[in-house]
């Protein structure tokens, strides 16, 4: 009788464990892109990723891996902790600062049309009211915005409140003289592009990116249709936040998307220069400026300079391009290697999400290299 009870309990435990794993994986080996079936479903490495989520109390993740034209994609975990609502193929996450890469692409499209210049002051195109008393308003260019050398703070106040929209911008240094990460600079570029095109930034992104790139699960502002399948952000420790709804677009952080959609954009824009003149594509990927995490340029800084709208990683295996994103409740990143045609894109719905960056890099990429994109700032990545 005792033996029977033990066997019964073990059977129940086995069934329960299988159910939990199935909930997290959605499918036995995760979900794959309809574009191309991966040669090996294990390339998604969902079991190892699931263990990372458990280790760091991260409710959910959406990630994609691309190599030589093959896309592998999956979602694991839950949209909201303690609720059995699983991350699936179409679950959207906040892309945070990865939005800036899309904004840079829109700029290049309009540069190719001859409507805006990389080095002509933006003030000459659009006299932004928040800069009317700024001492260097005539000096800030698109090149400075795309390399974070405007001298503007990341945010001047509580974005996106009305008070923030009416707060004058201040100068931290002469534009072009130093590096300082700035979302305000990208918003100034957005307002300039809107003025030149006579279109909203929402319309610009839809026309220039979402439609031609086939990003069917992406939006640049909140739409009610997203509520059904949107990931909820979480504080550290898997404590849920309120559902974040950005009703006004911001070139620095308001993108809602999936890892697959974003990877498709990166593959076409960075690897192929889709929609860009060859010279513009080449220019976009050149080293454009140094980045600094301190007062002086350090040895580490030299490995992660700025391209235009992107960051570079220069190491033992060559040059990669990357960006990270950090919105309340969300952490994300991508890294792309043109030489090997590899892209890894990761979205998490947790403020603990950056803890798994080194593990994800090690799982999917060549480990015989220094991942400067992580070591440069580690937990302070933006």
222-250: pLDDT as tens digits: 999 999 999 999 999 999 999 999 999 99
Pick 212 or 42 by higher pLDDT: 212
Dist CA 301 CA 73 (whole Å): 32
pLDDT at 41: 46
Dist CA 24 CA 30 (whole Å): 9
Fold of 31-380: Beta-lactamase (3.40.710)
Pick 226 or 23 by higher pLDDT: 226
Is pLDDT at 39 greater than 70 in this prediction? no
Q: How confident is the model at residue 220 (pLDDT cuts 50, 70, 90)?
A: very high
> For residue 78, which of 104, 53, 59, 106 has the smallest C-alpha distance?
59
- The whole-number average pLDDT for the span 325-347 is 97
pLDDT at 89: 85
- The whole-number average pLDDT for the span 309-335 is 97
Dist CA 144 CA 186 (whole Å): 10
Dist CA 217 CA 62 (whole Å): 13
Query: pLDDT tens digits for 159-204?
Result: 999 999 999 999 999 999 999 999 999 999 999 999 999 999 999 9
> What residue segments make up the domains of the chain, in order of their start?
31-380
Query: pLDDT tens digits for 138-160?
Result: 999 999 999 999 999 999 999 99
pLDDT at 107: 98
Dist CA 230 CA 223 (whole Å): 11
pLDDT at 43: 56
Intra-chain end-to-end CA distance of the chain, in Å: 59
- The whole-number average pLDDT for the span 93-120 is 98
pTM here is 0.89
Contact 1, 7 (CB under 8 A): no
> For residue 184, which of 227, 144, 228, 234 has the smallest C-alpha distance?
144
């Amino acid at each position: 009788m005792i033996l029977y009870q033990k066997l019964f309990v073990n059977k129940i435990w086995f069934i329960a464990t299988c159910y939990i794993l199935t909930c997290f994986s959605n499918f036995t080996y995760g979900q794959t892109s309809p574009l191309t079936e991966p040669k090996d479903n294990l390339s998604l490495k969902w079991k190892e990723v699931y263990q990372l989520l458990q280790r760091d109390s991260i409710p959910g993740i959406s990630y994609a891996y691309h190599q030589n034209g093959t896309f592998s994609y999956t979602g694991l975990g839950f949209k909201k902790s303690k609720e059995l609502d699983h991350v699936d193929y179409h679950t959207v996450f906040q892309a945070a600062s990865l939005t800036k890469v899309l904004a840079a692409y829109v700029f290049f499209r309009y540069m190719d049309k001859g409507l805006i210049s990389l080095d002509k002051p933006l003030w000459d195109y659009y006299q932004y009211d928040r800069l009317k008393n700024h001492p260097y308003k005539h000096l800030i260019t698109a090149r400075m915005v795309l390399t974070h050398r405007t001298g503007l703070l990341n945010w001047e106040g509580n974005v996106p409140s009305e008070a923030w929209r009416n707060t004058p911008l201040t100068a931290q240094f002469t534009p072009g003289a130093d590096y300082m990460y700035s979302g305000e600079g990208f918003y100034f570029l957005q307002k300039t592009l809107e003025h030149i095109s006579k279109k909203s930034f929402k319309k610009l992104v839809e026309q220039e990116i979402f439609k031609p790139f086939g990003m069917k699960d992406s939006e640049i502002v909140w739409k009610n249709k997203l509520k059904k399948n949107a990931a909820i952000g979480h504080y550290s420790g898997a404590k849920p936040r309120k559902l974040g709804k950005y009703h006004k677009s911001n070139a620095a952080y308001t993108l809602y998307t999936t890892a697959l959609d974003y990877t498709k954009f990166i593959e076409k824009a960075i690897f192929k220069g889709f929609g860009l003149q060859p010279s513009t594509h080449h220019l976009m990927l050149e080293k454009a400026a140094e980045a600094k995490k301190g007062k002086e340029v350090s040895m580490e800084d030299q490995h992660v300079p700025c391209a235009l709208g992107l960051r570079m990683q220069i190491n033992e295996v060559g040059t990669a391009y990357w960006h990270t994103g950090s919105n309340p409740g969300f952490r994300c990143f991508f890294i792309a290697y043109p030489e090997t045609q590899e892209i890894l894109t990761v979205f998490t719905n947790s403020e603990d999400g950056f803890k798994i960056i080194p593990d994800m890099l090690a799982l999917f990429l060549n480990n015989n290299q220094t991942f400067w994109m992580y070591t440069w700032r580690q937990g302070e990545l933006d």
